[in-house]
Amino acid sequence: MSILLDEGQQAIATECRRVLEARSDKGRLLGLLEQVGACDAVFRDTAVEQGWTALAIAEEHGGLGLGLIELGLVAQATGGVIAGAPFLTVGYGAARVLAEAGSAEVQAAWLPRLASGEATATVAFAEGNAPLPLRPTTVFAAGRLTGVKEGVVAGLAADIAVVWAMNEGEPALVLVELSGATRNPVDGFDNSRLYADLAFAEAPATLLARGEAARALALDVLARMAVVTAHEQTGGAEALLTIARDYAVTRKAFGQPIGAFQSVKHRIAELYGLVEIARANCIHAAALADAADGTPNGTANFLIAAADARISATEAYDTAARDCVQIHGGIGVTWEQGLHLHMRRARSLAIEQGNLLFWEDLLVDHLTGEAA
């Protein structure tokens, strides 16, 4: 399958970068780190104005009807400017569940509002270290949801959540309005992600899917969100590569640019390789998702590609964040320099939608299954 972007997709990527670079502000992002429960309102307004919230929602629900490739390109651009709001990824995941499993009434009530930006959504699958536990402790019974979901991305500001819960002994996907939940802010090292512990005490909720159908849909949506996150990580890594390169050719030591020293030169070259591998894996995974035929083989191929993208992008962003700071030396760790914004974001994204161990295990399970 080709991983080349067509002219329309290249235009989307170029325009997203142009808009975000014109509206990004390091000072604004630094301020968000010291606030709990605040997101980048400028980015949020920009996402709605540009139609990014509607990208992957079907046209009949007020969306643009595009795919994961286009959404990934937007996510990559947001990663480059460390955009201070997490809605694109988890909003896409929630909308995907509603489109696949929601009733006509549920879709009509929420998908147009998500597309227009009037409402925001998140997903709450994880419990503890498990991104998709076999038997979640949160319980849905008689139209009510009870339990706690910890560290939910965008949980402080979302209007609705798609929750992974147990229902009559089977796992299920449930839709709940967060006005019926207690939100406890999580004060972390990247507060712009709006993490919250969500506590449900018999909150009114709607069953979307249960049993094996729910598990298959949840894993597919988790993988799709992981691909969007991988694009964001790749965008951040690419931005750091550019910053490191530009600094290496201007900063001088012993009468010559530090980029002339082998240790620096090789490090930047290795970063370039990591970024390009991550970029290719991201586009490949997104293309497989958009071309998915619903067959077991097609599903397995997409999950493998999603794991590849997630693993390579996490490695690229983590390595770039570390190496860029080291190339800058002492100034790289200062508040004003702002490189720690990327370091914080790299660490945050590395654990959202499952950490490396989860995706490495999934990749190994699928590859050993194929070999057998």
Q: Is residue 224 part of a domain?
A: yes
Position 291 pLDDT exceeds 90: no
Does 293 have pLDDT greater than 70?
no
Contact between residue 124 and residue 164 where contact means Cβ atoms under 8 Å apart = yes
Specify whether 131 is located in the same domain as 180: yes
User: Between 263 and 94, whose confidence is greater?
Assistant: 94
- The stretch 143-153 carries a mean pLDDT of 97
Asked whether residue 2 is assigned to any structural domain, the reply reads no
What secondary structure, in 3-state letters, does 329-351 show?
HHHHHCCCCCHHHHHHHHHHHHH
Whether residue 339 sits in one domain with residue 260: yes
Domain boundary among 210, 236, 265: 210
- CB neighbours of residue 18 within 10 Å: 11
Residue 178 has pLDDT above 90, yes or no: yes
Instruction: State the total domains in the chain.
Output: 3
> Among the listed ranges 13-17, 116-120, 366-370, which one has the minimum average pLDDT value?
366-370
Range of the domain at 184: 121-210
Share of the chain above pLDDT 70, in %: 98
Check whether residue 69 and residue 141 sit in a common domain.
no
Mean pLDDT of the chain: 93
Q: Which of 207, 129, 197, 128 is nearest to 165 (CA)?
A: 207
pTM of the model: 0.95
Q: Are residues 83 and 132 in the same domain?
A: no
Examine residue 223 and state whether it is found in any structural domain, yes or no: yes
pLDDT tens for each residue of 219-266:
999 999 999 999 999 999 999 999 999 999 998 888 888 888 888 999
Q: What is the pLDDT of residue 3?
A: 65
Distance of CA 264 to the CA centre of its chain: 31
Could you read off the pLDDT of 204-222 as tens digits, one per residue? 999 999 999 999 999 999 9
Helix axes 68-80, 87-101, angle to 10 degrees: 160
Cα–Cα distance between 228 and 8 in angstroms, integer? Answer: 19
